[in-house]
Amino acid sequence: MERRTIGAAALEVGAIGLGCMPMSWAYSTSEQNGEESVRTVHAALDRGMTLLDTADMYGPFTNELLIGRVLKERRHDAFVSTKCGLLVGEQHIVANGRPSYVKRACDASLRRLQTDFIDLYQLHRVDPEVPVEETWGAMSELVAAGKVRALGFCAVGARADHRKSKTPGASGIHATTIRQLERVQGVFPVSGVQAELAVWSREALESLLPWCVSHGVGFMAAMPLGNGYLSGTLTTGGGFEGDDVRARHPRFTAEMMAANQPVVAGLRRIAERHDDATPAQVALAWLLAQGRQVIPLPGTKKERLLAENGRAAELALTPADMAELGALPAARGSWE
């Protein structure tokens, strides 16, 4: 597979990574299968999809334990990205950016992952009670200690942060994130930024991706398949199990899933122009075409879907395809 670079640290990874969250968090518990997930991670590494994206909060903790089973055998084949900064309680998820906590969290992640170092350690969410420079400074000390190779910044919650912002005239949903990035960049170089980017959610193209390009920072595209919707395989109005996060979000009501069908229809039209292509592969190929800074992180726990996602790197979209994809409507229904 084509190789791309994670920012300031110049670390190479496969052009398409693997989002490991669905293996043990957020989606239907009844569909989780640890042995199949382990096989899927091995298959990803075999295909050159070397970036494995996880977090301590996924489970919590069980996702890192699962990835650790693979790393114990194949550490040198993998690029491990995990995150700290969010704590999962019985009813709430809260941010914790205290330096002492960050250091304890890293040590715990290393034990679960069965490794001596983390390739990319990401701040999952900024703690509003702790200056972000202090959190980032503690993370940089982990690099100096040899426990971490590079640092990343997760901006998946940018929509929610924007709505809470009291800054007058803030332009775009990523304005707060960019200000935070500028602050931490003065403490220690940012190597990667992870944020939502997909054919139906293109806000990151306005300012966040350009910031990454201008600073030589890698961009990891979260939710590149719209939490499964852009694959065209979800049944409109079919419902989700109660423990599936999509059951509680406006974008996945029967009404909004029906309203967003023109996006899937557009992906299907373009897929039909290319032999054996699928809507999911078109959506991923569109992301790869946004520049060499971009590394999509499609999440799956199934080997079959992993193989389909990996083949998207071989799909060459035409200028006409790109123009048509760029004209597709944005998603109806908010995610956060």
Which pLDDT tens digit goes with each residue over 207-220?
Answer: 999 999 999 999 99
Does residue 253 form part of some domain? no
Q: Which token pair is 142?
A: 């982990």
Does residue 238 form part of some domain? no
C-alpha–C-alpha distance, residues 314 and 321, integer Å: 15
Q: Is 58 a catalytic residue?
A: yes
Amino acid at site 158: A
Least Cα distance to 226 among 330, 307, 306 occurs for 330
Q: Which residues pair with 93 in a beta bridge?
A: 88
Q: Which residues pair with 5 in a beta bridge?
A: 12
pLDDT digits (tens, 9 = 90+) for 106-146: 999 999 999 999 999 999 999 999 999 999 999 999 999 99
| pLDDT on residue 169 | 38
Does residue 249 form part of some domain? no
C-alpha–C-alpha distance, residues 34 and 67, integer Å: 10
| pLDDT on residue 157 | 67
Our measurement of the distance from residue 17's CA atom to the centroid of its chain's CA atoms, rounded to an integer in Å, reads: 9
Does residue 61 form part of some domain? yes
HEC readout, the chain: CCEEEECCCCEEEECCCEECHHHCCCCCHHHCCHHHHHHHHHHHHHCCCCEEECCCCCCCCHHHHHHHHHHHHHHHHCEEEEEECEEECCCCEEECCCHHHHHHHHHHHHHHHCCCCEEEEEECCCCCCCCHHHHHHHHHHHHHCCCEEEEEEECCCHHHHHHHCCCCCCCCCCHHHHHHHHHHHCCCCCCEEEEECECCECHHHCCHHHHHHHHCCEEEEECCCHHHHHHCCCCCCCCCCCCCHHHHCHHHCHHHHHHCHHHHHHHHHHHHCCCCCCHHHHHHHHHHCCCCCEEECCECCCHHHHHHHHHHHHCCCCHHHHHHHHCCCCCCCCCC
Does residue 267 form part of some domain? no
Extract the residue ranges of the chain whose pLDDT is less than 50. 162, 167-170
The CA-based angle 227-65-94, given to 5 degrees, is 60
Q: What is the pTM of this model?
A: 0.94
Least Cα distance to 138 among 93, 95, 106, 180 occurs for 106
Contact 151, 122 (CB under 8 A): yes
End-to-end CA distance of the chain: 33
Contact 254, 172 (CB under 8 A): no
CATH number at residue 189: 3.20.20.100
**Domain limits at 20?**
3-226+290-304
Q: Which token pair is 224?
A: 């590149």
User: At what angle are helices 279-288 and 303-310 packed, to 10 degrees?
Assistant: 50
Give how many domains the chain has, as a whole number: 1
Does residue 243 form part of some domain? no
| pLDDT on residue 248 | 85
Contact 167, 138 (CB under 8 A): no
The CA-based angle 18-229-88, given to 5 degrees, is 60
| Neighbouring residues of 241: CB distance < 8 A, sequence distance ≥ 6 | 28, 29, 30, 247
- Catalytic one among 27, 58, 121, 229? 58
